[in-house]
Amino acid sequence: MTQPSMQQVKELRDRTQAGLNDCRSAMVEAGGDMEKAVEIILKKGLAKSAKRAGAVASEGLVLARVAADQKSGVIVEVNIQTDFAARNADFVAFAEGVADAATRAKNGADLGAEPFPGGKETIEATRQALVGKLGENITVRRWERLTVDGPGAVHSYVHMGGKIGVLISARAGSDAAAKSPDFTSFLENTAMQAAAMGPQFLSSAEVPAEAKAKQSEIFDAQLVEEGKPEKARPKIIEGKIAKWLKEVCLLEQDSVLESGKTVDQLRRELGTKLGGEISVTRFARFERGEGVEKPQGDDFAAEVAKMAGG
């Protein structure tokens, strides 16, 4: 076979999501046999998975695991390129395996180097094989572990089938309080609050000075655009920062479940009821694909023109 037709190249590209030049080369190597060309692309996908990492993977799953004693938990995000592939049984099984592996990994470990549960390969090797099989880039993007010492618990909440996940840890005044249904309900409600409202910090005390300064600059620029006089701006900014902190800090947010109360007020009330202070120590919130830019790539016609020098 001399050169494959553009229609053949397009069909191979649609089936494999490989690059245009790779598809043309595979068709030539396969002598025009489409199925053989697909096999060639899949095999090269295993060999060149690192080069395929440029493909944006922003769909996927957020999963959480909490130990039976509720003293520790992990949250992970595993991404893939399309929503359709995110529902593939092999991808779901891979993501579940990554979450299970995270429960046994050391803090800060590279999950890719960890053994994949029930298999003979590492998570990274398993990932590469799945990239070749599904024809889409897959990334184990991030993971985090929360623990609690003494009376208390770690609780998880996963929303919308894995789109948003929250892990939260809190201490109680006693073991009895930590086992109370009221304590569990508070953790569940607070995790749901974090999922719904997207706080960036636990409390205003944890907000870095740089973040406050940056937000002040933003508010100041807005006020300049609005024509507010320079002398009046500092006082207005002070009020805006106070309002901003209530929006971005979990404990200072207005409760979505109990009108007129903040999450911190509910925390204090629960402590009084259970006879000891309740303290929320940490939380982690992962939203699938957050912060991942989705560049608009060339369409097929543009790629053909580029190859032709147009």
Whichever domain contains 44, its CATH number is 1.10.8.10
Q: Among 147, 168, 192, identify where a domain stops.
A: 147
Tokens of residue 156, six digits: 């998880």
Q: What was the pLDDT predicted at 239? A: 97
Q: What was the pLDDT predicted at 2? A: 63
- Per-residue pLDDT, averaged over 265-290, amounts to 97
Q: Is the predicted pLDDT of residue 192 greater than 90, yes or no? A: yes
Q: Is the predicted pLDDT of residue 251 greater than 80, yes or no? A: yes
Residue 237 lies in a domain: no
Q: Is the predicted pLDDT of residue 228 greater than 70, yes or no? A: yes
Range of the domain at 254: 148-207+249-294
Q: What was the pLDDT predicted at 129? A: 93
Q: Based on the fold, state whether residues 114 and 73 are members of the same structural domain.
A: yes
Q: Based on the fold, state whether residues 165 and 275 are members of the same structural domain.
A: yes
Residue 232 pLDDT class (50, 70, 90 cuts): very high
Give the CATH number, domain containing residue 176: 3.30.479.20
- Per-residue pLDDT, averaged over 69-78, amounts to 98
User: pLDDT by residue (tens digit) across 29-53?
Assistant: 888 888 888 778 766 663 344 445 5
User: pLDDT by residue (tens digit) across 79-97?
Assistant: 999 999 999 999 999 999 9
Q: Based on the fold, state whether residues 136 and 156 are members of the same structural domain.
A: no
- Per-residue pLDDT, averaged over 177-195, amounts to 98
What does the alpha-carbon distance between residue 81 and residue 57 come to, in Å, rounded to a whole number?
4
Q: What was the pLDDT predicted at 69? A: 97
Q: What was the pLDDT predicted at 17? A: 72
Q: What was the pLDDT predicted at 49? A: 45
Q: What was the pLDDT predicted at 188? A: 98
- Per-residue pLDDT, averaged over 91-120, amounts to 96
Q: What was the pLDDT predicted at 306? A: 62
How many domains does the chain contain in total? 3
User: Residue 208 corresponds to which amino acid?
Assistant: P
Strand order in the sheet with 59-66: 59-66, 72-80, 138-147
Q: What was the pLDDT predicted at 302? A: 62
Q: What was the pLDDT predicted at 50? A: 42
Question: Considering the chain, what is the average pLDDT of its residues?
Answer: 90
Residue 218 lies in a domain: no
Q: Give the residue with greater pLDDT, 306 vs 197.
A: 197
